[in-house]
Chain A
Amino acid sequence: MEVVTLSRKGGVARLRLSRSDRSVNVLDEACMEQLEAHLGTLEKSAPQLLVIESGMPGCFIAGADLNIIQSVTDADAATRLAERGQALCRRIEALSSPSIAVVDGACMGGGLELAMSCDHIIAVYGEKTSLGLPEIKIGIHPGFGGCVRLPRRIGWPQAVEMILTGRPVDAERAHRIGLAQLACHPEQVDDAIKHLASSGKANRGRTEPWWFHIWPIRKLFFYKVREKALARFRHLDIEEAYPSVPGTIDLLEEIYGMSDGLAYAREAGSLGKYAVTPACKNLIRVFFLGEALKKQEMVRKGKPVAKELRRTAIYGAGVMGGGIAWVASRDGDVDLHDITGDALGHGMKLLAKLARRDSKRFQRIRPAMDSSGLASTDVVIEAVLEDIDVKKQLWADVESAVRKDTLLLTNTSSLSVSDQQAGLKYPGRMVGLHFFNPAPKMPLVEVVAGSKSTKKSVQTTAALAARWGKFPVVVADCPGFLVNRCLMPFMSAALQLFECGQKLEHIDGALKNFGMPMGAIELADRVGLDICHHVGSHLSESYGKRMAMPLWFDQMVEKGVLGMKSGRGFYLYEGEKRLGMNPELSQYLKLKSHREKEFDANLADQDDAMTDKKIVEACLLPMLTEALACLSEKVVDSTEHLDAAMIYGIGFPPFRGGLLHYFSTIKKDELRHSFKSSGMKLPANLEVIYE
């Protein structure tokens, strides 16, 4: 198949990338081969001008083929891949004729590196135009010469930032920082080419600021960069989790002032090293998991209907409701309802904080205190009190005011969707849509089909969530759904460890070292102990003791020790800031801990401090058991969806590739032994994680 076409007209040669087998251009084997072949022709008879452009709408080149990087297992092979790309770029650079890349659409990773090898880049204004080097996000760094060429175009400080954050820029910004020589509108592309062609081969001086040449200042700069980049990973073993982050900084610092040949060789060598790390493989896997969720069949089928939904009404202006309002205002009008002015005012204030950079979006959110506007609403989402009577009353009121095809979504975390459907006139349109806190940040949503939900409603809901930039996972209507159901045993296990005398900081620290965004006990504090207690007792009704919060938990809640919101929980808080351990804790469980220990044979031997590994194991095995139970009960469709849900919903460390994937890297016997030694039953379908 031809993916690159070469055409000549007058003195202008055009390399046009376009393909029918994918929705975007990628630098895969076929593309590379054909580019190389065409370059051979061009080298033999150089044109006056070379233009590289894309025939795909909304995409220049989306990057290198991730599948190739995913499958590489040998560092030398990976290095050779990078060298091949580098060679290609250097040949474009070395052509005697000036070259121009017309970037209209996504231009990522290898695509941008290819564009940068041209003398000029034209960035075409458009929503989809974005230029960036996101390699760091999949655990590697630019490998086709991007680490050398980007600093040359936009200066070191900017380039280091762009490479380390992986954040893309739009056409306007690309022009401003010097990445693109010209930004223009689509109609002006021909004029822009003519304009740039007259300036011939680029002869760009270096654009670093003067201070960058001074050795100690440069050293200080990189020291600061390193400090800032690693601050987020302080608790992690960086060589295991994100080795490419310090690696990229080292690389950049080293290649400053190096001759091109050496710098390219160093870049390729370093890429080879990081491309074969498990972290890289896992991060790519996670990226694919997310993409798969966005492109799953449910989403595809619901898209046509979801596209038409414009007006959303949200009930409850709390943190959750406000967050959902922000999500929904991405591309439509939102009415935010609440009963009291105070609650609504508080919600609007939170939203205004989010809206600091996007006042247009804020203007699409209308606060409302009566049922106004419901008649023309397409979607209603409730995020009110978790009380079945309150919700049922709300739905009865709402249904009398909305059209009969309005989608009704409940953001419940513990109540059953089917229960809420009872009493509705048209229950088929009600679906659960469970967001995670904070809604604007957490990428996962659980789409819950109630017993009466129609297939079409579920599909529309999933597609709507995808439209809002979320990853929808379709789960069954069981108590706790998928994520909270798996989370509760995890939290419960951590509390048990605490009860048995492990230190708070030790438990949370071990989990953070493992890569969780926060420790289980701190998580309980942040969620709110009253809510944990409520959810725990609710879930334990259905699943038994493994979900329950310990007894002394009641006393804490009764005494108003509610976690972060009350300033004290297991830890003390000052606003959002965590201080030390709460010294009053001993009064709630001093006696308990001794007594429990005598009876609890499983944990009796854990008198002394456990190793980190043991703590993580003790917390994660119950989670794994629950996850496997969910799989066998068909709460979730596939192991991939389950892994994605854990990563995007509760922040299971992405560099470990997901809950099941992580355990699949542990040997079967070892895993069996762990189950046995912690006194847990071996899950019947343990085998699925190895499939």
Chain B
Amino acid sequence: MAVDRKATGSNREVVVVAGIRTPMGKMNGCLEGLSAVELGMHAVRELLARSPLTRDDIDSVIIGNVIQPTDAVNISRVISLQAGIPRQVPAHTVHRNCASGMQAVTDAAEKILAGRAEVVVAGGVESMTHAPLLFHDRFRRAVAGLQRARSIPDKARAALGMLKAPWKPRIALMEGLTDPVVNLNMGQTAEILAREFNISRREQDEFSVQSHQRADKAWEDEWFSSEVMHLFAPPKYAAVHRDEGIRTGQNMEALAKLRPAFEKPLGSVTAGNSSQITDGAAMLLLTYREKAEAEGWPILGYLYDWAYSGCDPARMGLGPVYSSNTLLSRYGMSAKDMARVEINEAFAAQVLACLKAMDSKQFCTKMLGAKAAVGAPDMDRLNVHGGAIALGHPVGMSGARLVLTLLRQLKHDTGGGLGLATLCIGGGQGGAILVGSEPWKS
């Protein structure tokens, strides 16, 4: 199949030289003592230590992050400097909600294709633990009034206003996971999909158990041990390697006991069949093929093409269907042609809805303008080492993690072929990236 990669418009082939991620820790869990900056710093430092190139080879640093810490607003730059990357190397932070990590990777790839950089560190980082608690806006106004007040009566009045203003903190994490346009929580958008695609609680729970079992087995087989670095997190500095969220022996009975998390009492989305709120960082080192070959750097895999597309914010979970169709139809391919597929498991209902939509002729003709159903990937090629339900979903990091784990699967498990990593994005978008472990052949 002769392929003209017109979308990228460049002769360069973007390669990933190395990649590493931290273990993922549950919210307020084992990585509680590390800020997002520290997580990113550890990951970048480890990435550089494990790759053959020196810090002077790097041209740019791009890192995705959602809950941008107020004490490190351009978190990418802070991470870059703390990890010892020379100060003349520029760094910027990108944000596309749950796809921020993937955005960083594709931005880096585009920079390389455009000839504006040769070697880029790209990745994602998130510490959901450290999402701040915020004051109410009326409280802010009262504080501002107090600062402005000059006379003593004014000051007293302002102080009284401050006391009367609401003291209850707003939880940034919850507000961030709510779409302000349709005013729905992410979990509620998953409930919509579950209803519309007729996905039962049992199906969702079965998918979740499978995710845990696969992740647990992958760790037992030491499949993850070279993908994940060790972290020594304060205050105990005990070694953390395994992802904290994986439950060995997760079963249907345990999941059945959970109550719906978002729509009580009739909903079907629970904490057990949703992705876990976690902390973590993943980093990749990107360059292009000629450079890597000339320098003798190893090549983990190639990034061929990528696409982002929009959809209904209230059904943001279907984003992967749209974006992967946009991407794959460029080459006349479907998810069935992929050796491995990673669909980020934001919610079990959401992944299952995507699969059903891909297999539905009605959906594909109406929504995608296709002639027939585009076809869903087989379950034995999808998320084979578990997904976010078991491992966790540090929002800014997951996109980079998917690319890393997919490339490693293609290199070590299938020994070649193409892979698709795709995820849904809060606000009604989808992102997809096409990768392979060997140069693009016709």
The residue that B239 contacts in the complex, of A335, A344, A364, A373, with Cβ under 8 A, is: A344
A366 at interface by CB-CB < 8 Å: yes
Q: Is the CB of A345 within 8 A of B232?
A: yes
Q: Is the CB of A366 within 8 A of B46?
A: yes
Q: Is the CB of B41 within 8 A of A363?
A: yes
Interface residues as binary, B41-75 with A (CB distance below 8 Å gives 1, 0 otherwise): 10001100110101000000000000000000000
B58, chain A: closest CB distance, angstroms: 14
A333 at interface by CB-CB < 8 Å: yes
Residues from chain A with a CB closer than 8 A to the CB of B234 are: 352
Chain B residue, CB-CB nearest to A333: B84
Residues from chain B with a CB closer than 8 A to the CB of A376 are: 49, 54
Task: Give Cα distance in the complex from A369 to B41, angstroms.
Answer: 18
Q: A333-B84, A375-B52 are in contact. Are A366 and B239 (CB under 8 A)?
A: no
Q: Is the CB of B49 within 8 A of A345?
A: no
Task: Give Cα distance in the complex from A373 to B241, angstroms.
Answer: 19
The residue that A352 contacts in the complex, of B46, B54, B230, B237, with Cβ under 8 A, is: B237
Besides A342-B238, A352-B237, A367-B232, 6 other A-B contacts (C-beta < 8 A): A333-B84, A341-B239, A342-B239, A345-B237, A372-B50, A373-B50
Residues from chain B with a CB closer than 8 A to the CB of A344 are: 230, 232, 239
Q: Is the CB of B239 within 8 A of A345?
A: yes
Q: Is the CB of A367 within 8 A of B230?
A: yes
Q: Is the CB of B50 within 8 A of A341?
A: no
B23, chain A: closest CB distance, angstroms: 11
A:361-384 near B, CB below 8 Å: 363-364, 366-369, 372-373, 375-376
Chain A residue, CB-CB nearest to B241: A341
Chain B residue, CB-CB nearest to A360: B82
Q: Is the CB of B237 within 8 A of A363?
A: no
B interface bracket (residues with beta carbon within 8 Å of A): 10 to 19
B360, chain A: closest CB distance, angstroms: 47
A interface bracket (residues with beta carbon within 8 Å of B): 20 to 34
Residues from chain B with a CB closer than 8 A to the CB of A364 are: 84
Residues from chain A with a CB closer than 8 A to the CB of B230 are: 341, 344, 367, 369
Q: Is the CB of A366 within 8 A of B54?
A: no
B:84-110 near A, CB below 8 Å: 84
Chain B residue, CB-CB nearest to A366: B45
Chain B residue, CB-CB nearest to A311: B49
Task: Give Cα distance in the complex from A366 to B236, angstroms.
Answer: 16
Task: Give Cα distance in the complex from A344 to B236, angstroms.
Answer: 12
Interface CB pairs A-B, < 8 A, 10: A333-B84, A340-B239, A342-B238, A348-B232, A349-B237, A364-B84, A366-B46, A373-B50, A376-B49, A376-B54
Q: Is the CB of A345 within 8 A of B238?
A: yes
B:273-315 near A, CB below 8 Å: none
Q: A342-B239, A345-B237 are in contact. Are A363 and B52 (CB under 8 A)?
A: no
Residues from chain A with a CB closer than 8 A to the CB of B41 are: 363
Task: Give Cα distance in the complex from A364 to B82, angstroms.
Answer: 9
A224, chain B: closest CB distance, angstroms: 34
Chain A residue, CB-CB nearest to B41: A363
Task: Give Cα distance in the complex from A364 to B83, angstroms.
Answer: 8
Task: Give Cα distance in the complex from A339 to B237, angstroms.
Answer: 16
Chain B residue, CB-CB nearest to A341: B239
Interface residues as binary, B220-241 with A (CB distance below 8 Å gives 1, 0 otherwise): 0000000000101010111101
Q: How many A-B residue pairs have CB under 8 A?
A: 43
B238, chain A: closest CB distance, angstroms: 5
Residues from chain A with a CB closer than 8 A to the CB of B236 are: 345, 349
Task: Give Cα distance in the complex from A605 to B372, angstroms.
Answer: 109
Residues from chain B with a CB closer than 8 A to the CB of A372 are: 46, 49-50
Residues from chain B with a CB closer than 8 A to the CB of A340 are: 239
Residues from chain A with a CB closer than 8 A to the CB of B49 are: 335, 366, 368, 372-373, 376
Chain B residue, CB-CB nearest to A353: B237
A128, chain B: closest CB distance, angstroms: 23
Residues from chain B with a CB closer than 8 A to the CB of A366 are: 45-46, 49
A:243-283 near B, CB below 8 Å: none
Residues from chain A with a CB closer than 8 A to the CB of B46 are: 366, 372
B368, chain A: closest CB distance, angstroms: 45
Q: A344-B232, A369-B230 are in contact. Are A363 and B82 (CB under 8 A)?
A: yes
Task: Give Cα distance in the complex from A367 to B233, angstroms.
Answer: 11
Task: Give Cα distance in the complex from A341 to B233, angstroms.
Answer: 12
Task: Give Cα distance in the complex from A369 to B46, angstroms.
Answer: 11
Task: Give Cα distance in the complex from A364 to B41, angstroms.
Answer: 11
B87, chain A: closest CB distance, angstroms: 15
B419, chain A: closest CB distance, angstroms: 26
Residues from chain B with a CB closer than 8 A to the CB of A341 are: 230, 238-239, 241
Task: Give Cα distance in the complex from A220 to B401, angstroms.
Answer: 64
Task: Give Cα distance in the complex from A341 to B84, angstroms.
Answer: 24
Q: Is the CB of B50 within 8 A of A348?
A: no
Residues from chain B with a CB closer than 8 A to the CB of A373 are: 49-50
B119, chain A: closest CB distance, angstroms: 15
Task: Give Cα distance in the complex from A341 to B228, angstroms.
Answer: 14
Chain A residue, CB-CB nearest to B226: A370
B381, chain A: closest CB distance, angstroms: 31
Residues from chain A with a CB closer than 8 A to the CB of B45 are: 366
A46, chain B: closest CB distance, angstroms: 49
Chain B residue, CB-CB nearest to A351: B237
Residues from chain A with a CB closer than 8 A to the CB of B238 are: 341-342, 345
Task: Give Cα distance in the complex from A375 to B52, angstroms.
Answer: 8
Interface residues as binary, A337-359 with B (CB distance below 8 Å gives 1, 0 otherwise): 00011101110110010000000
Residues from chain A with a CB closer than 8 A to the CB of B232 are: 344-345, 348, 367
B:27-50 near A, CB below 8 Å: 41, 45-46, 49-50
Task: Give Cα distance in the complex from A495 to B204, angstroms.
Answer: 73
Task: Give Cα distance in the complex from A364 to B49, angstroms.
Answer: 12
A348, chain B: closest CB distance, angstroms: 4
Task: Give Cα distance in the complex from A441 to B49, angstroms.
Answer: 29
Interface residues as binary, A317-345 with B (CB distance below 8 Å gives 1, 0 otherwise): 00000000000000001010000111011
Interface residues as binary, A112-144 with B (CB distance below 8 Å gives 1, 0 otherwise): 000000000000000000000000000000000
Task: Give Cα distance in the complex from A341 to B49, angstroms.
Answer: 18
B56, chain A: closest CB distance, angstroms: 11
Chain A residue, CB-CB nearest to B20: A372
B203, chain A: closest CB distance, angstroms: 39
Minimum-distance CB pairs A-B, first 8: A341-B239, A373-B49, A349-B237, A348-B237, A348-B232, A372-B50, A345-B239, A345-B238
A144, chain B: closest CB distance, angstroms: 44
B168, chain A: closest CB distance, angstroms: 33
Residues from chain A with a CB closer than 8 A to the CB of B52 are: 375
Task: Give Cα distance in the complex from A341 to B45, angstroms.
Answer: 18
Chain A residue, CB-CB nearest to B239: A341
B410, chain A: closest CB distance, angstroms: 23
Residues from chain B with a CB closer than 8 A to the CB of A346 are: 237
Task: Give Cα distance in the complex from A346 to B239, angstroms.
Answer: 9
Task: Give Cα distance in the complex from A372 to B239, angstroms.
Answer: 17
B:209-259 near A, CB below 8 Å: 230, 232, 234, 236-239, 241
Task: Give Cα distance in the complex from A340 to B234, angstroms.
Answer: 18
Task: Give Cα distance in the complex from A348 to B38, angstroms.
Answer: 15
Residues from chain B with a CB closer than 8 A to the CB of A349 are: 236-237
Interface residues as binary, B382-425 with A (CB distance below 8 Å gives 1, 0 otherwise): 00000000000000000000000000000000000000000000
Interface residues as binary, A363-407 with B (CB distance below 8 Å gives 1, 0 otherwise): 110111100110110000000000000000000000000000000
Task: Give Cα distance in the complex from A363 to B50, angstroms.
Answer: 17
Task: Give Cα distance in the complex from A366 to B38, angstroms.
Answer: 12
A:517-565 near B, CB below 8 Å: none
Task: Give Cα distance in the complex from A183 to B282, angstroms.
Answer: 44
A405, chain B: closest CB distance, angstroms: 16
Interface residues as binary, B6-19 with A (CB distance below 8 Å gives 1, 0 otherwise): 00000000000000
Chain A residue, CB-CB nearest to B238: A345
